Amino acid sequence: MSWRNLRSHLGSSRISMATEEEVLAVTGYAVGTVSPLGLARPIRILADTGIFVQDEISLGSGLRGIAIIMKSGDLKRALGEVEVGQFC
């Protein structure tokens, strides 16, 4: 993770990680299970450019120990408005 690139993209000089309670409240998912799909409410989604390089991607499903594997192009279409940048 490049904190400098992320801060620059967000236009902020300071950012911090969310607490477990904040993650659950905003996403509806527990830490370690967060998925960009089926969120509790619409939120701003950022994705590193490297995510869409491979043909397939594995991502959180909302349940521990279970992942979703899908084509990266399908994920990009499913997400709709996603901000892509160099964050790693």
What predicted TM-score, i.e. pTM, was given to this entire model? 0.80
Residue 54 has pLDDT above 90, yes or no: yes
Residue 65 has pLDDT above 90, yes or no: yes
> What per-residue confidence (pLDDT) applies to 40?
86
All domains in the chain, ordered by first residue: 3-85 (3.90.960.10)
Could you give the percent of the chain with pLDDT greater than 70? Answer: 100
Average pLDDT over residues 65-79: 94
What gap in Å lies between CA 42 and CA 88, rounded to an integer?
A: 24
What gap in Å lies between CA 72 and CA 59, rounded to an integer?
A: 10
Residue 78 has pLDDT above 90, yes or no: yes
